[in-house]
């Protein structure tokens, strides 16, 4: 619990903290790194525990981050690299397009305005300090009249009317492990989003007393979650559309909440265009609750240490991470390193798609130039600029230790050239569903191949190089509603200079987990028939590449199935004489017959049909 005396003294501390910050303290900096990171991590915990879909609560296909008052990232949770590196562009788009006030939450998924692909929906909220010394309205960090930590009227920690720790009437709470702040039992109930089983969202509120507001946000909090369906022609919204209009609902930055109330027209428009309306509604609730968790934790930091110190050390973290990255780049040999790799095809034509990189190291700075990469394609493998920058950020972050602040400073010494209209920086109306999941992996592969020439003893061989995206959807006879299931399938990790690669893991731009068999079969009319290691699929060498896996799923109802996968023609490469891993394979089993299918496409399945995914192994390292 935040000590009352700290809350009441927060503003009076500001002038003192300003003087203190004239001298940089590395111990305090490390404390703030852990504090801000823990905020992002706890946001993720809140999102995971309250989400409805297995894709979020089991696979953990989400990410959370904390940003300073200017929208620069200062901390990220240990979540999805493909989300984290690109989320700053989504926050920048939200701040550019919408003036965020207290009680507002901005939603967006537009890949050409800060997003990545349509299923990844980003929510952004400002964190404001309400009230001021001059106004003298109320106690507590929010400045509202009343008693309790927030200064609201009533009893309990929050000061709301009612009984119990939260002061709400009849609501039970649990305490988090990290502090004594109460967190409601599942599902999280957030102001402005009442729990409802109705398909419509009631938004009536008790009127709030006017309060004096801080003129601008102290921080921003944001999360991104992959929704298992966002509309479009195929269940799961990951099919082979030829333009973005066929991929699903495209949401530019707009207010999902305004003045602590759901903008019902916006929410209803989204829910009317997706499969699994109840599940989508629940996942949006979870995202909103996650943002509010982050806001509360940040205000606890401000209450303890004051606004000035909290913001100053946020800036110091950005500066520190920039120094770490410059040092890491400076440890590489100066020079120019080139590499090329390919995607098998785009699912429309059979032509391979080259991705080229020229990496120039000059002192403590790096230039990453993708000139020469293929033009954007008709299929869904186009990556927007945010994805390419995200992949570059991930690769260079791998050069640092695990405790380096994951802040905006990491990209400060790195310049990225991604020519417009190419596979690494597509223009609208290109389809982009697979750019986020497949092309991002190949960008990582080609960057590591180039870095292996600059740092041969530090870079692993290629991992499986695909996320093996599988979507299944149809009518669930148990509920009478449409369902949409999405998962990525793990594979082999590339061998490392001193260790074998791991088998059956998600690597690089995905950091998700498998969907447990029990969770999958409970939630959907599906059955898992096989789930095992694909023995011998890892590349041989002094260090062996990790093996892929075999996963076979039966549909119990008529369903439509889509696949976006790669490394079915071109194997993951080995390094320093190591052998490549085996390519993957996809099959449909119908009436006992095994039918090989392409790496990308959409198929109609009858009840009893199975889809079998055999994922690639990682490349080997070194000669035996």
pLDDT tens string 452-495: 999 988 999 999 999 999 999 999 999 999 999 999 999 999 99
Question: What are the φ and ψ backbone dihedral angles of 450, each rounded to 5 degrees?
Answer: -70, -40
Q: Give residue 159's pLDDT band: very low, low, confident or very high (50, 70, 90).
A: very low
Which of left, alpha, beta for 216 (phi over 0: left; psi -120 to 50: alpha)? beta
CA dihedral 67, 19, 300, 292 (to 10 degrees): -30
Section 365-381 average pLDDT: 98
Question: What are the φ and ψ backbone dihedral angles of 282, each rounded to 5 degrees?
Answer: -65, -35
Window from 163-177, 229-243, 471-485 with minimum mean pLDDT? 163-177
Percent of the chain with pLDDT over 90: 78
Q: What is the DSSP letter of 217?
A: -
Predicted confidence at residue 135, as pLDDT, reads: 33
Q: What is the DSSP letter of 439?
A: I
Predicted confidence at residue 131, as pLDDT, reads: 55
Section 265-271 average pLDDT: 97
pLDDT tens string 5-35: 433 333 343 333 334 444 679 999 999 999 9
Section 322-345 average pLDDT: 97
Q: Has residue 549 got a pLDDT over 70?
A: yes
Section 196-212 average pLDDT: 36
pLDDT tens string 401-436: 777 888 999 999 999 999 999 999 999 999 999 999
Section 210-224 average pLDDT: 76
Q: Has residue 1 got a pLDDT over 50?
A: no
Section 611-615 average pLDDT: 98
d(CA 494, CA 546): 6
Predicted confidence at residue 432, as pLDDT, reads: 97
Distances from the Cα of 600 to the Cα of 180, 391, 516, 523, angstroms: 49, 22, 24, 26
Window from 123-127, 132-136, 553-557 with minimum mean pLDDT? 132-136
Q: Give residue 140's pLDDT band: very low, low, confident or very high (50, 70, 90).
A: very low
Question: What are the φ and ψ backbone dihedral angles of 291, each rounded to 5 degrees?
Answer: -60, -40
Task: Give the burial string for 461-491 (b: 16+ CB within 10 Å, else e).
Answer: bbbbbbbbbbbbbbebeeeeeebbbbbbbbb
Strand partners, 463: none
Greater model confidence, 525 or 193? 525
pTM for this structure? 0.84
Section 222-233 average pLDDT: 96
pLDDT tens string 285-321: 999 999 999 999 999 999 999 999 999 999 999 999 9
Which of left, alpha, beta for 330 (phi over 0: left; psi -120 to 50: alpha)? alpha
């Amino acid at each position: 619990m935040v000590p009352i005396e700290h809350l009441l003294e927060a503003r009076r501390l500001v002038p003192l903290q300003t003087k203190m910050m004239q001298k940089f303290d590395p111990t305090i900096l490390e404390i703030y790194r852990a504090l801000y990171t823990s905020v992002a991590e706890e946001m993720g915990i809140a999102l995971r525990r309250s989400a409805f879909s297995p894709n979020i609560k089991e696979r953990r296909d989400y990410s959370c981050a904390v940003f300073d008052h200017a929208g620069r990232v200062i901390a990220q949770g240990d979540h999805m690299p493909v989300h984290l590196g690109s989320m700053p562009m989504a926050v920048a788009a939200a701040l550019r397009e919408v003036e965020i006030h207290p009680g507002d939450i901005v939603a967006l998924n537009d890949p050409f305005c800060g997003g990545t692909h349509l299923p990844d929906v980003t929510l952004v909220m400002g964190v404001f300090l309400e009230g001021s010394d001059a106004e003298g309205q109320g106690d507590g960090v929010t400045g509202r009249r009343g008693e309790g930590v927030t200064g609201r009227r009533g009893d309990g920690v929050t000061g709301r009317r009612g009984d119990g720790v939260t002061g709400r009437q009849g609501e039970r709470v649990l305490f988090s492990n990290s502090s004594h702040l109460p967190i409601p039992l599942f599902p999280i109930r957030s102001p402005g989003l009442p729990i409802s089983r109705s398909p419509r969202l009631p938004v009536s509120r008790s009127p709030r007393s006017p309060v004096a507001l801080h003129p601008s946000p102290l921080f921003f909090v944001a999360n991104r979650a992959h929704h298992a369906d966002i509309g479009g022609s195929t269940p799961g919204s990951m099919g082979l559309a030829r333009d973005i209009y066929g991929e699903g609902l495209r949401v530019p930055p707009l207010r999902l909440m305004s003045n602590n109330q759901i903008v019902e027209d916006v929410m209803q428009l989204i829910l009317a265009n997706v499969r699994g309306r109840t599940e989508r509604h629940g996942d949006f609730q979870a995202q909103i609750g996650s943002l509010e968790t982050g806001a509360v934790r940040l205000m606890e930091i401000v209450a303890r240490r004051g606004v000035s110190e909290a913001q100053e050390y946020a800036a110091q973290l950005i500066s520190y991470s920039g120094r770490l990255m410059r040092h890491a780049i400076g440890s590489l040999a100066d020079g120019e390193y080139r590499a090329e790799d390919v995607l098998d095809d785009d699912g429309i034509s059979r032509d391979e798609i080259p991705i080229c990189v020229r990496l120039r190291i000059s002192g403590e700075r790096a230039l990453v130039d993708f000139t020469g990469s293929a033009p954007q394609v008709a299929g869904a493998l186009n990556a927007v600029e945010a994805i390419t920058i995200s992949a570059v950020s991930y690769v260079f972050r791998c050069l640092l230790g695990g405790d380096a602040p994951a802040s905006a400073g990491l990209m400060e010494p790195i310049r990225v050239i991604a020519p417009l209209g190419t596979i690494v920086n597509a223009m609208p109306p290109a389809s982009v569903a697979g750019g986020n999941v497949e092309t991002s992996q190949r960008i990582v592969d080609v960057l590591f191949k180039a870095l292996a020439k600059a740092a041969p003893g530090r870079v692993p061989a290629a991992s499986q190089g695909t996320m093996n995206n599988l979507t299944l959807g149809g009518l669930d006879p148990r509920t009478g509603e449409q369902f949409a299931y999405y998962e990525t399938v793990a594979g082999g990790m590339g061998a490392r200079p001193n260790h074998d690669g791991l088998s059956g893991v998600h690597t690089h731009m995905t950091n998700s987990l498998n969907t447990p068999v029990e969770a999958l079969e409970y939630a959907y009319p599906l059955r898992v028939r096989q789930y095992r290691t694909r023995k011998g699929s890892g590349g041989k060498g002094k260090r062996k590449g990790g093996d892929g896996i075999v996963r076979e799923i039966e549909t119990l109802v008529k369903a439509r199935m889509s696949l976006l996968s790669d490394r079915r023609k071109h194997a993951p490469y080995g390094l320093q004489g190591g052998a490549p891993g085996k390519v993957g394979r996809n099959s449909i089993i119908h009436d006992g017959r095994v039918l090989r299918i392409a790496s990308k496409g959409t198929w109609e399945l009858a009840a009893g049909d199975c889809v079998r995914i055999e994922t690639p192994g990682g490349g080997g390292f070194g000669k035996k």
